[in-house]
Structure 1
C-alpha cells in the first residue's frame, strides 16, 4: 500500500474509532448530554471531552507505530477506548468527596482539567504498553 493511501486509511480508521469512543463515553454520562453542554459553553465538559479525544489519539498513534497491519491498529484502538472508559469510571469511583459527573455538569473547570489529564496521561501509559 502506498504511503499516501496508508495515511488516509489510518486517518479514516482513527476518526471512526475516536467518534465511536465519544459516543460510548456520552452513553456512560447519564446526568447530561455532552454536546448539549458544550453548545451551552460548559468548559469543564469540553476539557473532559478534549482529553478523551487526545487520549484515544495517543493510543492510536502508538498502535500505528507498533502495528504491522491495519487490523492490529483497529484492535488496539478499540482496546484503548475500553481502557479509557474503565479509567473514567475508576476516576468517578475513586473521588469519594464529590461526583465527577456532577462537578463537570456544574462547569467545575478544575475537575475538567483533572479529567483531561487522566485521559491524556493514561493514553500515554496505554499507548506505551502496545507491542
Structure 2
C-alpha cells in the first residue's frame, strides 16, 4: 500500500482532490462571514464581489501551494493549509477592523470596485506572507 501512495500521479490526485474540497469549504466559511451572498452578487455582475472572491480563491490556492511544496504528506499539507486559511480569515477581519470610516462588506456589496480590488490584493498578498511561513 505504501508503494501506491508513493506514486506521483496518486499524490497529485490526492493533493488536487483535497485542495478542491478545502477550497469549497473555505469559500463556504467566507460566505458565512460576509454580509452579502457572494454567488448571487457575482451572478448580478458585481465586479467588486468577484474581485474580492477571486482574491480569496487565489489566496487559499497559494497557501496550499506552499503547503504542498514544503510538506511531504497529505495530512501535513492539510494541517498547514488549514492553519494558513485561519490566518487568511484573520486578515479579513483585521481589514474590516482597520477601516472604521466605512464597512468593507457594505462597500463591496454596493459594487465599490476600489474596495473590492484592495480586498483582493490583501488576500493575495497575505497568502504569500502566510505561505512563506509555512
TM-score strictly above 0.5:
yes
Alignment pair present for 1:21 and 2:38: no
1:97 Cα shift?
Answer: 1.4
Determine the C-alpha separation between the residues in 1 that align with 2:51 and 2:80: 24
Cα deviations across residues 63-108 of structure 1 (Å, max 9, x unaligned)? 0011011101101111111111111011001011111001001100
Q: Give the one of 6, 11, 15 matched to 1:6.
A: 11
Alignment pair present for 1:115 and 2:119: yes
Give unmatched runs, 5+ long, in structure 2.
Answer: 1-5
Secondary structure of 1:98 counterpart: coil
1:17 Cα shift?
Answer: 1.1
User: For residue 87 of structure 2, what is the aligned residue in structure 1?
Assistant: 83
Q: From the CA coordinates, give the structure whose radius of gyration is larger.
A: 2
Give unmatched runs, 5+ long, in structure 1.
Answer: none
